[in-house]
Amino acid sequence: MKLILLRKMTFAAALLVAIYGCEKTIEPISTYAVTVEYGSTNAKSVKQDLEVNPKDSIYLDFTVTSPKDMAYIEIQRNGIRVDTFNVSAATKNKFTGSKAYRMDSIPGDYTYRVVALNSNAVFLGDGNKKIKITVKPDFNFYSYRILSVPDTTNKTNKCYYSTTTGEAFSFTEGATKSALIDFAYYYDTTSTIKHSIYALNAPQTQLAFYDISAWTKNATIFKKLPSSVNFVSGLTSGGALLTVCSSNLASGATTKVSTLSTVSGNNVIAFKTAAGKFGAILIRFISQDLPAKSTQIEVDVKVQK
């Protein structure tokens, strides 16, 4: 009995050796047999990741080589097809093309890739190459800035704001920073005016306790924007700020805007600085409806560079 069992075990071991001895090693299929090379036919040709300004032009000059027959070359931006080239029989294994694009005005990253497809529109490869074009913003965006009602004693509440640096200043800090200040905030107790944004050249009788007679008083102008203007989606570039704000400020602009709230139609303010920069202020939050020194507003600011 033991002899039979030993013979069976020996046979099984020999069979395994035979099987594995005959096994062939299969080379993995190359996923990227296609190669894509980017050239330089002019100064705006892109060969690698690049930063550009809004509305700049770029050129993709490319040569695609494939061991399998190509029928189409597709250019994708952020994974979505934007152009297709038909490949002739003469260029089915090596195709050269060029395409110009004008970049978006909205800042962000845009990824381009050149893809080879066969006659059934089946993916053959992209050379494992992608080019990222980063559109730089042409405006400054300062978010979650806090302004407080001016305090009469310590004079340390930050109620002045600079659109060039994105900083808020108190009265004690403002004396040496006044040339940077584009607007200020206070609570107007006259009638129902209440929360107000104003330029330093505007008369403020209630702020007699703040002597700014020796300060630089930048003449910023303001106007509330209609509720149809969306601060987030409608003001996405310096060009949009220029177009929307300049047209609204062409008439009815003032050195002070009041009765501000977080309600649409009262919470986005167009402005133009003394330096000629257009921008917008979004009133995000108001802590309370009181003239107390603890009252604060939270703003977002966009301004042309």
Give the pLDDT score at 190: 85
Question: What is the pLDDT at residue 155?
Answer: 95
Task: Report the pLDDT value the prediction gives residue 32, as an integer from 0 to 100.
Answer: 56
Angle value at C-alpha 80, between 74 and 83, nearest 5 degrees:
35
pLDDT at residue number 17: 46
Average pLDDT, consecutive stretches of 10 residues, N- to C-terminus, the chain (305 residues): 46 48 46 85 90 93 96 97 97 96 91 97 94 94 97 96 97 95 95 92 85 95 96 93 97 95 95 98 96 96 97
Q: What is the pLDDT of residue 200?
A: 96
pLDDT value of residue 169: 98
> pLDDT at position 16, please?
47
Quick one: pLDDT at residue 26?
A: 44
Per-residue confidence (pLDDT) for residue 28, from 0 to 100:
44
Residues with Cβ within 8 Å of residue 148, at least 6 apart in sequence:
157, 158, 159, 185, 293, 294, 295, 296
Q: Are 240 and 104 in contact (CB under 8 A)?
A: no
pTM: 0.75
Contact 68, 92 (CB under 8 A): no
